[in-house]
Structure 1
Amino acid sequence: MSANISAADVKKLREMTGAGMMDCKKALKEAEGDFEKAVEVLRKKGQKVSAKRADRDANEGVVVALVSDDKTKGVIVKLSCETDFVAKGDEFIGFTNKAAELALQHFPDTLEDLLKVDMNGLSLGDRVTELVGKINEKIELDTYEKLEATMISPYIHMGNKAAVLVGMNKASDDIYDGGRDVAMQVAAMKPVAVDKDGVDQSIIDKEIEIGKEQARQEGKPEQIIEKIAMGKLNKFFKENTLLNQQFVKDSNETVASFLKKFDKELTVTDFKHVTLG
């Protein structure tokens, strides 16, 4: 080891960055003992690793949902990686939770803005790059969702594989608990919108065309094909919009009717659903 770089220096840099001993030794040598430059060297190593592994699939990871103490703001953050082994590590889970805490604290508008948020002297994006260099696997903070409502209920699916936020127009402890049931509904049934008014027109047009084609394939008369297609569209709305879906905990009622038990005016204003992959 160079006379200017002691074992204590290497140990200090390793504690600062979490990088391996040999990586720290090489970085300090390259930086001529300057700790800030050595950290930059390690970050650049991470960037090289990230670029080198850019063609890899990062389908594993951790999804975290957090809500503010007053339950009016919520965020979901997803940190992706290549292997389930890395995703289950305490460091990886801890990093994702910290990123979610920063997201809730700063409540930025976009993922790009979130990646610029300071995390112990560096941007969150740079800290992700450091993690890449340390773990030597493709890692991306690739999803960020935010939600504001009178009351927000969160749900994190087993093993942090998915997370949901459900916003409602009323607030109470009972409504919060009911909202968690609705959030579980979103995770299980994957609705495309709150109600039919929220369904993108392109999806509606596609479903109508599918309905028409199915009717033609069944040999239905042309004059009733439009009517049949609209019937199929209504069935699509019932199965794929949250308020109209059968409630998973009681198939005898819809999500909308379940919510009316708490307050006749209670409804879902919006939801966010993030999954791995």
Structure 2
Amino acid sequence: MTITAQMVKELRDKSGAGMMDCKKALAETNGDMEAAVDWLRAKGISKADKKSSRTAAEGLIGVASEGAKAVVVEVNSETDFVARNDKFQELVAGVAKVALTTDGAVEAVSAADYPASGKTVEDTIRDAVATIGENMTLRRSALLSVDDGVVATYVHNAVTADLGKLGVLVALQSTGDKDALNTIGRQVAMHVAATNPLALTSDDVDPAVADREKQIFIEQARESGKPENIIEKMVEGRMRKFYEEVALLSQAFVINPDQTVGEAVKAAEAEVGAPIKVTAFVRFALGEGVEREESDFAAEVAAAAKG
């Protein structure tokens, strides 16, 4: 029997499953619409896609490294309970390892093969949704690499090796000793976890963000009633301090506040045995920027009591 586009659309509307899954279901059931719905349900596909509308803001951050490159991924779940599940942890660790074989873009990671399942990462996660019973998503991923050097990793609030609630990568370019390089890199990664810098240097700060801060400083200075030329100098001073506080290399190093991060990296060159250049960093905190669904439990109970 010929499976038409209209049939696929009708099944997709009924089940909420993906187009290719609907086409396969219709082919497997010789075009019988109700049988195709049952086929999707039996495979857990329809069930999984119905859960995809739920907010997934819990989960885990995973990191993985190999040679002069490393990745960080965020896989979300609906509840922290699932994040403590061994199977979920295994899944996130596996996704991070797969991400190392890609360019780090979330689309590339989703489409990559997941060796343990013989399917793509996207399909493997969807299968896990049906099995575990919660919505899960690969929300984002990033890869850093250097020609020579290390990409240091750090996971804060780790639940197990390389998995936790916050993950950081720091890329250091250097021909020096890799172990010593990794030591200073991990310290800088811990600093990034603690301070959440906006950029590597002041030149890298988003101009729109800097301008917004400047306008706030101008308004604050004008309220003092001082002349415009004095206000200008006040704002210049505050902007210098702003850049120092948000740019990684100019921040006071949390491990030794008497040094900036840039100075600490420079001092580490003696032990590394070569110049060091911090080229990039990435910081993923679990669920940041996700709008979580807020529920009023008391109201839910009251509504249930009323029938």
Fold shared per TM-score above 0.5: yes
Distance 2:234 2:173 in 1: 35
Percentage of identical aligned residues: 35
Number of the residue aligned with 1:250: 256
Deviations 1:236-274 (A, max 9, x none): 111111111111111111111111112274231100100
Q: Which of residues 128, 131, 135 is equivalent to 1:134?
A: 131
How far the C-alpha of 1:39 sits from its partner, in A, is 9.1
1:49 aligns with 2:46: no
Instruction: Give the distance between the partners of 2:263 and 2:99, measured in 1 at CA.
Output: 34
Residue 241 of structure 1 aligns with which residue? 247
Q: Any unmatched runs of 5+ in structure 2? A: 1-24, 31-38, 159-163, 288-307
Maintained 8 Å contact 2:102/2:112:
no
C-alpha RMSD of matched pairs (Å) = 2.1
**CA contact under 8 A between 2:71 and 2:104: conserved in structure 1?**
no
Q: Which moved more, 1:39-48 or 1:156-165?
A: 39-48
**1:121 maps onto 2:127 in alignment:** no
TM-superposition CA deviations, 1:159-209 (whole Å, max 9, x none): 300000000121421111111000000000000111111111111211211
Gaps spanning 5+ residues in structure 1: where? Answer: 1-26
TM-superposed CA distance for 1:109, in Å, is: 4.5
Question: Would you say the 8 A contact 1:152–1:165 is kept in 2?
Answer: yes
SS in 2 for 1:194: coil
Rounded Cα–Cα distance in structure 1 between residues aligned with 2:42 and 2:193: 41
Is residue 224 of structure 1 aligned with residue 225 of structure 2?
Answer: no
1:31–1:38 Cα contact (<8 Å) kept: no
Deviation, structure 1 residue 218 = 2.4
**Does 1:76 pair with 2:72?**
yes
Contact map agreement 1:155 1:183 (CA 8 A) in 2: yes
**CA displacement at 1:131 relative to structure 2:** 1.4
User: Structure 2: how far apart are the matches of 1:266 and 1:209?
Assistant: 36
CA distance in 2, matches of 1:176, 1:224: 46
| Counterpart contact for 2:102–2:108, Cα < 8 Å | no
| CA distance in 2 between partners of 1:126 and 1:220 (Å) | 63
| C-alpha deviation, 1:114, in angstroms | 1.0
**What are the superposed Cα offsets for residues 97-133 of structure 1, whole Å, 9 maximum, x if unpaired?**
00000011x2235211211112233221111111112
Between 168-177 and 137-146, report the one with greater CA deviation: 168-177
Determine if contact 2:77/2:137 at 8 Å carries over to the other structure.
yes
Equivalent position to 1:267, from 269, 277, 280: 277
Whether 2:184 is the aligned partner of 1:165: answer: no
Partner SS state of residue 198, structure 2: coil
The alignment's TM-score, normalised by the length of structure 1, stands at 0.80
Distance 1:57 1:138 in 2: 8
Structure 2 CA distance, aligned partners of 1:185 and 1:218?
Answer: 36
Match of 2:142 among 141, 145, 148: 145
Q: Is the 8 A contact 1:192 1:240 kept in 2?
A: yes
In structure 2, the residue corresponding to 1:209 is in which secondary structure?
helix
Q: What amino acid sits opposite 1:67 in the alignment?
A: S
Matched-pair contact (CA < 8 Å) for 1:43–1:126: no
Match of 1:276 in 2: 286
Change in 2 beyond 3 A, CA 1:207/1:38: closer
CA distance in 1, matches of 2:165, 2:105: 22
Write the distance in 2 (CA, Å) between the matches of 1:258 and 1:74.
23
Contact kept? 1:31, 1:41, Cα under 8 Å: no
CA–CA separation in structure 1 for the residues paired with 2:78 and 2:51: 13
- 1:15 aligns to what? none
CA distance in 2 between partners of 1:267 and 1:168 (Å): 6
Q: Does 1:90 align with 2:77?
A: no
**Number of residues of Structure 1 aligned to a counterpart in Structure 2:** 238
* Amino acid corresponding to residue 209 of structure 1 in structure 2: Q
Cα-to-partner distance string for 1:215-245 (whole Å, 9 max, x where unaligned): 1122222222222212111111111111111
